[in-house]
Amino acid sequence: MQIIDPSYEIQDDLDRASLVIRLEACGRICYKSEEKIDKDSALPFVKKIAEHGHNSVMEMAVVTLGVKCSGVQFDALLALEPKYLFIDCLDDEILVTASIRSFRELYQRAGQTPLVAAMVRFLVSAHPYLFEGVWDGGHGQEVVSTIEVRKLELTAVDALPDEYLARHRFAGVKFIVNRAVTHEIVRHRPCSFLQESQRYCRYSQDKFDNQVTFIKPMFFEEGTVEFGLWQRAMEETEEIYLKLLESSTPQAARTVLPNSCKTEIIVYCNLAEWKHIFSLRTVPAAEPSMREVMIPLAAEMKERYPAVF
Ligand SMILES: Cc1cc2nc3c(=O)[nH]c(=O)nc-3n(C[C@H](O)[C@H](O)[C@H](O)COP(=O)(O)OP(=O)(O)OC[C@H]3O[C@@H](n4cnc5c(N)ncnc54)[C@H](O)[C@@H]3O)c2cc1C
């Protein structure tokens, strides 16, 4: 067995990657199949994911659009009560930020609404593969010339006034933590999550060095009786888990895995939600293993976005 410290990483590189590369990089965390990433792998991976309905992968990339339209067209969009879209009115245009999943499902639900059709038509022109099986050419409607759509690059989103920055700038963080921490993190409902699956990962495989990895508990000092007891429990658990795998599936064997098991999870949400998470997860009442990663992460986010945090 392996014992490691918890850690986190703000996924800046993926912010600058294309949508499909971002989706693949996040989606593969579930299967821990990152070794399969090459220059041609992203498109087939994302298409398969969309076909199989593994929809949360499609939440892992957002797009911010600047839209000019009439008041009637805008009211028609608001009347749909779009749940997962962030919408703000600036002086001369409307800002709309949403994930690929949100745009796909909004089009399926209300593609006949001119503003919805115009936004999705714009996205399809650049990323047709992300709307396969969904885009039908605009429900046979003509292009509405009074609606103008443009994409805001990340630098433009970063330059938005503070209140819009908090709502429209999304940030992804990959955590390597224990299963108790992931269980708490996923309670934050506005976020999108993808996490290492104990159903698909078989820790007896070579790529896992044929062993289970555990997160070092911050509660017990190495060398103490308590740490020794914890270590013994993990060793025995690993032995039983590996034995079960000789005749059972990973989903059956995982029933013996404990909270200390290492899990990778990507959390993706806007800065406003990160601020809310930090307000709950860095304070003394929060769980200490959660604070262990959230306190330094909050400090890093504050350095990047001092106006928001
Ligand atoms: C110290 C601590 C102890 C805890 N103990 C327990 C426990 O013993 N048992 C337990 O089950 N949970 C526990 N929790 C989890 C806690 O109850 C929340 O589920 C979790 O912290 C998510 O936070 P949230 O609900 O404020 O906001 P999020 O889910 O992060 O949502 C952000 C905001 O969106 C809004 N929102 C989202 N969904 C809804 C909705 N459906 N209705 C209305 N508004 C919504 C709210 O304004 C909310 O503030 C604990 C959390 C903490 C920090």
DSSP string across 114-140: HHHHHHHHHHHHH-GGGGTTT--SSTT
Q: Which domains, from first to last, does the chain contain? A: 2-18+169-304 (3.30.1360.170), 61-152 (no CATH)
**Average of per-residue pLDDT values in the chain:** 94
Decide: 272 in ligand 1 pocket, CB within 6 A: no
User: Residue 55: what pLDDT?
Assistant: 86
The span from the CA of 215 to the CA of 144, in Å, is 55
The span from the CA of 218 to the CA of 80, in Å, is 47
User: Residue 16: what pLDDT?
Assistant: 87
Which tokens belong to 88? 């703000």
Residue 118 burial (10 A CB sphere; 0-12, 13-18, 19+) = buried
Which tokens belong to 20? 């499909």
pLDDT for 20 beyond 80: yes
Annotated catalytic residue within 232, 281, 291, 304: 281
Task: State what percent of residues in the chain have pLDDT above 70.
Answer: 100
Which tokens belong to 145? 């010339």
Q: At 34, phi and psi to the nearest 5? A: -60, -25
Q: What is the DSSP letter of 128?
A: G
Least confident of 85-89, 126-130, 291-295: 126-130
Decide: 286 in ligand 1 pocket, CB within 6 A: yes
pLDDT for 132 beyond 80: yes
Average pLDDT for 91-106:
95
Decide: 284 in ligand 1 pocket, CB within 6 A: no
Which tokens belong to 113? 């609404």
User: Residue 285: what pLDDT?
Assistant: 97
Q: Is 281 designated active site?
A: yes
The span from the CA of 254 to the CA of 257, in Å, is 5
Average pLDDT for 112-124:
94
Q: How far is CA 174 from CA 27, 164, 242, 251, 265, in A?
A: 12, 24, 27, 23, 6
Q: Please tell me the residue having the least CA distance from ligand 1 atom 28.
A: 188
Decide: 190 in ligand 1 pocket, CB within 6 A: yes
Are 293 and 7 in contact, with CB atoms under 8 Å apart?
yes
Q: How far away, in angstroms, is 132 Cα from ligand 1 center?
A: 35
For the CA of 287, the closest atom of ligand 1 is: 1
Question: Confidence class of residue 268 from pLDDT cuts 50, 70 and 90?
Answer: very high
Question: Confidence class of residue 31 from pLDDT cuts 50, 70 and 90?
Answer: confident
Give the tens place of pLDDT for each residue, 184-218.
999 999 999 999 999 989 999 999 999 999 999 99
